[in-house]
Structure 1
Amino acid sequence: MPLDGLFTHALVHEFNEHIVGGRITKVHQPYPNEIVLVIRKNSINYPVLLSAHPTYARAQITHIPYENPQTAPNFVMFLRRYLEGAILQKVVQVENDRIINFYVNSRDELGDIQEIRLTLEMMGRHSNLFLVRENDSRILELIKHVPADQNRVRSLMPGATYTLPPKQYNINPFSNSLDLLAPMILDRPTSDWLKYIQTTYQGFSRESAASLSSVLQNTGDRMINAQNWLSSFNHPKPTLFTSKNGQLRYSAIDWEQSEDSKQYFKTLGDMLDAYYIGKAERERVNQQAGSLVRIVKNELKKNTSKRKKLLATLDDAENANALKVMGDLLITYPHLVSKGMTSVDIENYYDNNNLLTIPVDPKLNGLKNAEKYFNKYRKLRTAVDYVNEQLAITDSEIDYFNTIVSQLEVASPKDVEDIRLELTTGGYIRANKKNKQKPKISKPDKFQSTDGTIIEVGKNNLQNERLSLKQPDKRFIWLHVQKLPGSHVIIHNDNPSDETLMQAAKLAAYYSKARDSANVPVDYLPVGKLRKPNGSKPGFVIFEGQQTIYVTPEADLVSQLKI
């Protein structure tokens, strides 16, 4: 089911159970349209994600790691002023709509207590997050400023009075549950139930209406069946459905989906993490890495074109001896060439006196044409060494940018900034001179094998460099997919079990260009045997004496071992 009013009802129930009464200890804005409140209750920290993303708007308790920007945005600074240290008093859904209000008591400039409301509207591209003063409904700040010429229905700017979005005046099923089905059963045929539910009752998506319609067709007391179905949203059973073609769907309750496989979760937040960890993270990476992708593609295109030209030059150089022969023949028989001729046939004494047709410049005589061929011959012969040197550099650049492409495909948002820093340091991106802060490199991803051994995975070259070349124990085992771009993987053990070695190899294969392949070769050896050539790119190492293990990547294993 999509995030409709019914699902929002279940979310609010979960919030009231877990975080109401907790203290807001931290406020972060890791992404442009998303806020994370860290709420501490009963000695447990609950990171609460409030997203006004146009596609993935939602509210949830999340455990997906995030990386904060070095400079906090203005909106989060404003929120910190009012929210940090405050107690979350209550969480309320606006009727059965996709609007949630988070209430706190805060102190104003004079020290007086005032009620502040954080309102999240989850309305697709119209989603927004407001900080509102409750006593006069004044908008103190909001995450998306919308000028009047873009929204004439209500003002969405700081200082304006907060008003709800246009109301549809449908019936709230939770306020009128006893009378929910009477008119539908008495006045309408079964075929009209789905449409009637959606148009009459508030907060029903098409999927929710279809589920209720199915419940009503069961035998027994239809009214009781409907009320039991509705009340189940007060006691959610978070369920993730996977169809035969791999498509994911989620629901707050376990409605009948016989064609799907099911996975149950303890909380709605855990289920949403499992559902969004791929989709939302990919979207965030695409947003942050858009300019990087263009730069990398341009560099690949430029170097690929350069390589073709270099290879063409080498092909010409292989024909350099033919140019020398033509020059020798022309300088031997210059009298056979007259101005105005475009070619001349000369007996080739290098080839049993067979006639050789030599193209000539009609503006030059025989000696000048011979000199022209000799000059071209000398130029090509001199260029061979230079071209081979440039070809090696170009091939290295192509391999490097193919590695960057591979890293961007599996990058999380925190990895993107590392890649941006690397490209800036390498001179591929112009440095921002205004930013004087020292860049911070994110930490590698951590995993734990089934026997408890820690495994670290570098997701970009800067992480790989630090992970592989600055480890305190050179006896740890290093792994990398063979002859393909991929992550550096470190097992924090000098004698890992076969099971841990196999799991680490599968991680190395998954975080590489071979993630969709089978029977992938992965090299492994102690960290101490790695060497970094002088002047090489970040993350580039050479080694010998490795052993090889063959594995098939498993996406499920990645999520199971992640810590």
Structure 2
Amino acid sequence: MALDGIFLRHIKTELESILTDARVSQVYLPNRDELIINLRTFDGNKRLLISTRADSPRVGITEYSVENPDKPPMFCMLLRKRLTSAKLIAIRQPDLERMLFFDFDCVNELGDKVKLSLAVEIMGKHSNIVLIDENGIIIDALKRVDLTLSSKRLVLPSLIYEMPPSQDKLSIEKEDTDNLINAIEHNPETSLSKAILNTLTGVSPIVCRELSYISTGETDTDKDLMSQREWQNLKDALDKLKTEVVSPSDYAVTLKYTQGKLFDFSFMPVNQYENSVKKTEFQSFCKALDAFYHTRESLERMRMKSHTLSKLVSNHIERLARKISVQKVELEKCKDREILRQKADLIGANMHLIKKGAPYADVINFYDENASTIRIALDVTKTPQQNAQKYYKDYAKAKTADKMLRVQIETAQEELSYLETVADEISRAENEQDLSSIRQELISEGYLKENKSEKNNRKPKALKPDFREFETSDGFKVLVGRNNRQNDLLTLKTANKNDLWFHTKDIPGSHTVILTDGKEITEQAILEAAQIAAYFSKAKDSSQVPVDYTLIKRVNKPQGAKPGKVIYTEQKTVYVTPKDFDEN
């Protein structure tokens, strides 16, 4: 995946048509790798995004806003000082290199008109943004490059700006097609797609593979084995590509695997993957790029947030499991407390036979049917009476500990069950909003501390939650909670007392409700709702999953219970295989 020179040419052409003669209204640097320039155009305000992130360098108009820091960085302050109210007069691209120059008419502090250029270099981890004066002198750069970073090309204030070194490849825009074919044919690389990549400037690997696929039907063909017809196919494809460079179409496409992960984009139709990918077509190159990276970065943010929450919850689960294990061992010890009481009774009954200072006492155990002799250990520093009192005291402590441990274990197990439901919700979260809701729940339950930005951006609770909504084949509406808070709201506030409630039996999952609307529920609706409940549970990949169902009026929440925790009665159980239904 790469923003190649030809795609960048299309971006340039599109930006020229939209931004030429626009004026800079504001400049932001939301993070160390991204620059946002707001421009006033005849068609309204536009937001120009320039990213130098190593994994996603790009330039284009974006429709998505980002949060800006309270204190802008120095480079941002410099650009605001130099470019605010400046007019964008031209956008240049040297040949098909992966860089653009944005030329501005500006007014300096003395009121004189000057020309400044913003050089945008799209070069992976070496991507950069450089502000240059009309004499080609560097004013400053987003990323300064000194001798510790490069001995060949310095990017520092007051130095003459030098373009990144050329790769010495042939330009499809300038070279004759026969010359290109000859150069590809004589390239030392045997793979056709790699030979094209090594020969032509401005093309990404996906374009090279597509040219190979168009020519030979394969993406990794040995060019030494190509037929004359296949070489002619390549020549025709290069002629078409040359036309595309000179007269860009309005076609762009993003690609994602059938599993749902976006992985590439292109300015030309891509058929090399056949039916293994899903294509989304755009009539704007900026919109294609914006959609691609916004979706990909959103998924990456979601992955990171999910990992953070999962780790937090997992740590709490492990800690609770260890705590319960220790408490159960202690509880097991308390089971012997009756022996302590019996020993105290036996000492009391035989006190006249026990001498002070004796290490033990052998007495008749009248609690034993056979009246056997039992040896009782004694504290030599205590009297027989004090030893008896000690055993009674230990018995009382064990009895109290037994009661406390049972309560503590029950409480810990309830908390463990709750956290397991949260872990399940995190694993099934579909977007950042789902994860944010779970995070807020964990904050309210005391597992997380609210950060400063969350305190400052508190919003009123939504009046209408976005439950998952489905419809059974016979027309009944089915609602499913997305998290524990929604589960409570769905079951306790939204559903009618005669609606039917579903939940996987003893398995973490979402509350699921069939809205009856006064109608008699069919067996088919019950089956499908149970399949939905099983799908939105920890057992979604299992079969024969037990799902309980009962009327809403039979479902209650214990006082003080954790979010999502309910008790229910008069339930029936159905065994189903989870099924993913189309959401309304």
TM-score normalized with structure 1 length:
0.69
Matching of residue 225 in structure 1 with residue 254 in structure 2: no
Q: CA deviation at 1:516?
A: 3.7
Matching of residue 376 in structure 1 with residue 406 in structure 2: no
Q: CA deviation at 1:395?
A: 1.9
The C-alpha deviation readout for 1:242-295, integer Å capped at 9, x for no partner, is: 48x998754524455367524232227887789778864342134456655554
Q: Work out the CA distance in 2 between the residues paired with 1:407 and 1:344.
A: 61
| Aligned-partner residue type, residue 400 of structure 2 | T
**Per the alignment, do residues 449 and 405 of structure 1 end up closer, same or farther by CA in structure 2, a change over 3 Å counting?**
closer
Q: Contact 2:252 / 2:288 at 8 angstroms: preserved in 1? A: no
Q: Contact 2:503 / 2:512 at 8 angstroms: preserved in 1? A: no
* Secondary structure of 1:176 counterpart: coil
Matching of residue 389 in structure 1 with residue 389 in structure 2: no
**Per the alignment, do residues 284 and 340 of structure 1 end up closer, same or farther by CA in structure 2, a change over 3 Å counting?**
farther
Q: Work out the CA distance in 1 between the residues paired with 2:500 and 2:166.
A: 60
Alignment correspondent of 1:428: 447
**Per the alignment, do residues 469 and 140 of structure 1 end up closer, same or farther by CA in structure 2, a change over 3 Å counting?**
farther
Alignment correspondent of 2:220: none
Q: Contact 1:24 / 1:40 at 8 angstroms: preserved in 2? A: yes
**Per the alignment, do residues 322 and 394 of structure 1 end up closer, same or farther by CA in structure 2, a change over 3 Å counting?**
same
Q: Contact 1:303 / 1:394 at 8 angstroms: preserved in 2? A: yes
- Gap regions ≥5 residues in structure 2: 217-225
| Aligned-partner residue type, residue 535 of structure 1 | G
Q: Work out the CA distance in 1 between the residues paired with 2:408 and 2:354.
A: 41
| Aligned-partner residue type, residue 384 of structure 1 | D
**Per the alignment, do residues 178 and 406 of structure 1 end up closer, same or farther by CA in structure 2, a change over 3 Å counting?**
same
Q: Contact 2:30 / 2:67 at 8 angstroms: preserved in 1? A: yes
Matches within 5 A, 1:167-246: 167-176=166-175, 178=177, 181-184=180-183, 187-188=186-187, 191=190, 193-214=192-213, 215=215, 217=226, 219=229, 221=232, 222-228=234-240, 234-235=248-249, 236=251, 238=253, 240=255, 242=257
**Per the alignment, do residues 448 and 540 of structure 1 end up closer, same or farther by CA in structure 2, a change over 3 Å counting?**
closer
Alignment correspondent of 2:323: 306
| Aligned-partner residue type, residue 348 of structure 1 | N
Alignment correspondent of 2:417: 399
- Gap regions ≥5 residues in structure 1: none
**Per the alignment, do residues 187 and 150 of structure 1 end up closer, same or farther by CA in structure 2, a change over 3 Å counting?**
closer
Q: CA deviation at 1:328?
A: 2.9
**Per the alignment, do residues 47 and 340 of structure 1 end up closer, same or farther by CA in structure 2, a change over 3 Å counting?**
farther
Q: Contact 2:468 / 2:481 at 8 angstroms: preserved in 1? A: no
Q: Work out the CA distance in 1 between the residues paired with 2:557 and 2:40.
A: 45
Q: Contact 1:445 / 1:456 at 8 angstroms: preserved in 2? A: no
Computing the radius of gyration over CA atoms, which structure comes out larger, 1 or 2? 2
**Per the alignment, do residues 461 and 322 of structure 1 end up closer, same or farther by CA in structure 2, a change over 3 Å counting?**
same
Q: Work out the CA distance in 2 between the residues paired with 1:47 and 1:493.
A: 49
* Secondary structure of 1:191 counterpart: coil
**Per the alignment, do residues 507 and 419 of structure 1 end up closer, same or farther by CA in structure 2, a change over 3 Å counting?**
same
**Per the alignment, do residues 371 and 552 of structure 1 end up closer, same or farther by CA in structure 2, a change over 3 Å counting?**
same
Alignment correspondent of 2:426: 408
| Aligned-partner residue type, residue 405 of structure 1 | A
| Aligned-partner residue type, residue 265 of structure 1 | T
* Secondary structure of 1:238 counterpart: strand
Matches within 5 A, 1:259-298: 261-267=276-282, 280-288=297-305, 292-298=309-315
Q: Which moved more, 1:321-330 or 1:5-14?
A: 5-14
Q: Contact 2:254 / 2:264 at 8 angstroms: preserved in 1? A: yes
Matches within 5 A, 1:91-130: 95-99=95-99, 121-127=121-127, 130=129
Matching of residue 74 in structure 1 with residue 72 in structure 2: yes
* Secondary structure of 1:265 counterpart: strand
Q: Work out the CA distance in 2 between the residues paired with 1:109 and 1:458.
A: 59
Q: CA deviation at 1:299?
A: 2.5
Matching of residue 329 in structure 1 with residue 346 in structure 2: yes
Q: CA deviation at 1:553?
A: 4.8
Q: CA deviation at 1:381?
A: 0.7
Q: Work out the CA distance in 2 between the residues paired with 1:390 and 1:3.
A: 57
Q: Contact 1:239 / 1:262 at 8 angstroms: preserved in 2? A: no
The C-alpha deviation readout for 1:334-374, integer Å capped at 9, x for no partner, is: 55688584x76654322232354555556666555443332
Q: Work out the CA distance in 1 between the residues paired with 2:32 and 2:526.
A: 40
Counting matched residue pairs gives 549
Alignment correspondent of 1:437: 456
* Secondary structure of 2:325 counterpart: helix
Q: Work out the CA distance in 2 between the residues paired with 1:481 and 1:457.
A: 10
Q: CA deviation at 1:332?
A: 3.6
Matching of residue 12 in structure 1 with residue 11 in structure 2: yes
Q: Contact 1:517 / 1:553 at 8 angstroms: preserved in 2? A: no
Q: Contact 2:29 / 2:72 at 8 angstroms: preserved in 1? A: no
Alignment correspondent of 2:272: 257
* Secondary structure of 1:74 counterpart: coil
Q: Contact 1:99 / 1:120 at 8 angstroms: preserved in 2? A: yes
Alignment correspondent of 1:513: 538
Q: Contact 1:475 / 1:493 at 8 angstroms: preserved in 2? A: no
| Aligned-partner residue type, residue 4 of structure 2 | G
* Secondary structure of 1:199 counterpart: helix
Q: CA deviation at 1:518?
A: 5.0
Matches within 5 A, 1:475-514: 481-482=503-504, 483-486=506-509, 512-514=537-539
TM-score normalized with structure 2 length:
0.67
| Aligned-partner residue type, residue 400 of structure 1 | Y
**Per the alignment, do residues 80 and 435 of structure 1 end up closer, same or farther by CA in structure 2, a change over 3 Å counting?**
farther
Q: CA deviation at 1:552?
A: 2.9
| Aligned-partner residue type, residue 398 of structure 1 | L
| Aligned-partner residue type, residue 308 of structure 1 | S
Q: Work out the CA distance in 1 between the residues paired with 2:532 and 2:257.
A: 23
Q: Work out the CA distance in 2 between the residues paired with 1:448 and 1:137.
A: 60
| Aligned-partner residue type, residue 399 of structure 1 | S
Q: RMSD in angstroms over aligned alpha carbons?
A: 5.9
* Secondary structure of 2:190 counterpart: helix
| Aligned-partner residue type, residue 385 of structure 1 | K
**Per the alignment, do residues 446 and 460 of structure 1 end up closer, same or farther by CA in structure 2, a change over 3 Å counting?**
closer
Percent identity reads 26
| Aligned-partner residue type, residue 552 of structure 1 | P
Q: Contact 1:402 / 1:485 at 8 angstroms: preserved in 2? A: yes
Alignment correspondent of 2:223: none
Q: Contact 2:184 / 2:195 at 8 angstroms: preserved in 1? A: no
Q: Work out the CA distance in 1 between the residues paired with 2:243 and 2:39.
A: 28
Q: Contact 2:115 / 2:133 at 8 angstroms: preserved in 1? A: yes
The C-alpha deviation readout for 1:159-205, integer Å capped at 9, x for no partner, is: 99876545434333344363552432563577264544333333445
